[in-house]
Structures are given as C-alpha cells and as structure tokens.
Structure 1
Amino acid sequence: MKNKMIVGALESCDLPELDLHQVQMRVDTGAATSSLHVDNINEFMKDGKRWVNFDIHPDVHNVDTVVNKTLLLKGKKVVKSSSADKEKRVVIKTAIQLGGQEWVIKLTLTDRSSMKNLMLLGREAMQGRLLVDPSHEFVVSDRD
C-alpha cells in the first residue's frame, strides 16, 4: 500500500490527448470501468483498423464549444449502469494526469449528460496506484 496516492471521492484530472483539462470526475470503486461523456460517437474502418470519432465539450460551462476527436478503437465492452441497464460501449485508451502522475487508462465513451459528473474513474484505472478516501474531495487536485 506504500507509494499509492490517496484521492478523494471527487477529483479533477487532465486528459491531454483529448485536450481536456481540469475535468471533474467521480472516483468510484464500485465501477469496474472508467467512462467519459461524449456526443456523436461514430465507428469506422481505416487502413484495416477500427477507429472512433466523437465530440467532446472541453468546457462543461459552455456547451457551444465542441472539439472533435478521432482515436483508435481499443474494443467494446458491455457495461451495466447504476440503473442496472446494460449498454455496449466503445473503449479507447488515453493518458490521464492526476496528482502529478500520468498513466494510460481505458475509457468507455457514452452519454453521461444526465449525470452530475461527466467522467467516472473506475477500479481498473485505479488499480495499484490509488487509495480512495470517500470522506474527502479534491485531495490531490483543485476544484474547477
């Protein structure tokens, strides 16, 4: 347990490959996978590889700003939501920066517009790196 970063139930992270900075996320040990809110998800083939194209709102306070991204599709995963609904989601890999550290995580892309936090950090992304203190928020990051 030594050398693990202690985080709170809410933190802010950067996803530099997606041009997202200070993204407020829910740190959720009850969720296996991490997810990010995006719009207009389109899968396609290029040079024999599967790709995904999607829109992101980098400023949650200004939904008029839209950034379009295209990344390699790393796979698909069936995810059971908090309401017990099952959804097949596309999976990408991207770097996350949190508390002065950076590592690569898998992210499922979905519509989280009805959720309070547009990103959820699940167990798989935390494994071996983080310990969660649910009684605190923004332990290693600033409030946006």
Structure 2
Amino acid sequence: MSRRLLSTGALSLGLLLIAGCALPIEQGETESVLGPDEFALRIDRLETDLATRCDLQQASLTENARRQETLVADVREVGSLLRHLRADVERLEHAESDPALVTQECATVEPALGGKTVVGRSEWIGLPDVGTYLKARIDSGANTSSLSASEITRFERDGANWVRFKLGLTEDDVVVDGTGDEWIEAPVERRVRIVQAFGEGTRQVVSLMMTLGPIREPVEFTLNDRTHLNYPVLLGRRFLMDIAVIDVAETYLHERPEFPGGRPADEAEADENDRDDEER
C-alpha cells in the first residue's frame, strides 16, 4: 500500500515538472506582442529609413554625375586650347615662309601697342555666319565672351555634341532684319561652370567667326539669355588677349560692318545712343 502511494506521488511530481515547462513566463519576462498600431508604426519607421537611404544614394549618384560632367568639360576645354595652339603654329610657319609679307605688316605696327587694335568700351561687331551686326560691350573683367541666345537645344551630329539656338534679342537691339528669327547651329566646343549668387550652373561654349574693325577671328561665346542686360554681346579677356586693348574713354571707334538687308555703316551713329553705359 505504501509502495503504491509512493509510486503515485512520484508520478504526480513528474507530471507537475512536465507541466511546469508549459506554464506561462512570469510577468517581466514575457515577450511583448505587437498590436496593430505598434506594427503600423514600426513599418512606417522602416519605410522612412529606407527612403532616407535611397535619397542619400541618389544624392551620391547625382554628385558623381556632376563631377563626371565637369571632367568632360575640362577635357574638351583642353582640346579646344590645343586646336587654337595648332592654328597659331600654322600661322607662324606660314609667316616664316613669307618674310616679305611679315616685313610689310611690321612696318605698320605701332610700337606702343605692339600691333594690337584699340577698341572702345562698346563697339559694333559682325557675325558673318549669321549675317548680322550687334552691339557689344568690351569688358576685361569677364573671362569668356558671351552671346545672348534663346531656345537653346542640344543635339548630336556625327557623334559630336551640337547646339541649335536663336539670337536672344529685345525690341531695342539693332540687327539685320530677319536674322533674329533664324536658327543657328554650331558644335559645342566645351562647357563652362558659372557661379552666381543663386547657385552654380554650366553653359555651352560655341565658336563663331566675328569681325570688329580690322579684326576677323573665331571667338568662343558662352550661350545664355542676356535680354535683361544692355548689350546682346559681351567680349571678355579671351578675345582681347594679344589682339586688342580697350580705350575706356571711347566708344564705337570702328565702323559698323555691312550685311545684305542691313542699314549702311554711315547710318550707325543714329543707333549708337546706348541705353546705359553700365553693364550689369
């Protein structure tokens, strides 16, 4: 009898031990169960974190693209400078092969100016490829020359980058009739980065043949809207270098070039009443 009671007690104790494994964990050790609101809040946090990481990655990709574009622009600028250097070398070689011509040119050089053309602070320039004249402000404080352009459109031709645009003009600008509506196409020589008060940007640079008095040279122009300024053309240091000097006390020292459909050069004086002699 006592042995049976002992066996029964042992069995009961074993069942209690086994059942103890299934008993609920005491308070403070229970694993919390997320309710619907807490689950939604956690999902929102995960989405926010994922969106933040995506934004950071996109910003990094944008910055890398900008740096790549800047490097490409620098490489194109070096290529443009090399082309101009090659043209200068060819001119020097031609001059050495024709000493009589060099002697004749040197005879007309003014020693004080080193053969440079004197220009006023504002002048008439001609764009033979466009067929028009324009007023230009000469400013040694600017590096690259600038041409007012509108409807600027980039495109590719034979694997090279080109640009199509129209002259950006106001009703006060004096040009050959009809040229303001004509499309102009030119290869993009390079791009320059512009830093202004409201941020940075880049502009296409094209090379156009330009005349100013006795000067006939290809000039690099940045393309941008200058209709809020007083002159559709700005000529900077790159144009002046080695070929011209400014007499700031003078304006329009050289005749306005003539083009078919334009007014004669002797009528230019009537169009030379500048709106404002200050360029902003």
Q: Normalising by the residue count of structure 1, what TM-score does the alignment of the two structures yield?
A: 0.87
Report the secondary structure of 1:36's partner residue.
Answer: strand
1:27 maps to 2:138:
yes
Counterpart of 2:154 in structure 1 is 43
In the comparison of the two structures, how many residue pairs are matched?
A: 142
Q: Please, which of 95, 114, 117 is the counterpart of residue 231 of structure 2? A: 117
CA distance in structure 2 between the aligned counterparts of 1:27 and 1:113, rounded to whole angstroms: 17
CA distance in structure 2 between the aligned counterparts of 1:119 and 1:53, rounded to whole angstroms: 18
Q: CA deviation at 1:101?
A: 2.2
User: Pairwise mapping of residues 62-141 of structure 1 onto structure 2 (< 5 A)?
Assistant: 65-80=180-195, 86-141=200-255
Unaligned runs of 5+ in 2: 1-112, 257-267, 272-280
CA distance in structure 1 between the aligned counterparts of 2:143 and 2:199, rounded to whole angstroms: 15
CA contact (8 A) 1:76 1:91 kept: yes
Q: Please, which of 105, 110, 117 is the counterpart of residue 5 of structure 1? A: 117
Deviating more after overlay: 58-67 vs 94-103: 58-67
Q: Normalising by the residue count of structure 2, what TM-score does the alignment of the two structures yield?
A: 0.47
CA distance in structure 1 between the aligned counterparts of 2:117 and 2:154, rounded to whole angstroms: 35
CA contact (8 A) 2:162 2:187 kept: yes
Kindly provide the amino acid, as one letter, of the partner of residue 145 in structure 2: S
CA distance in structure 2 between the aligned counterparts of 1:96 and 1:115, rounded to whole angstroms: 21
Kindly provide the amino acid, as one letter, of the partner of residue 186 in structure 2: L
* RMSD, aligned α-carbons: 2.3
Write out per-residue CA displacement over residues 1-45 of structure 1, whole angstroms, 9 at most, x where no aligned residue: 321001100000101112222x10000000001000010101111
Q: 1:134 to 1:40 in 2, by over 3 A?
A: same
Q: Which has the higher contact order (CA 8 A, sep 6+)?
A: 1
- Structure showing the higher strand proportion among its residues: 1
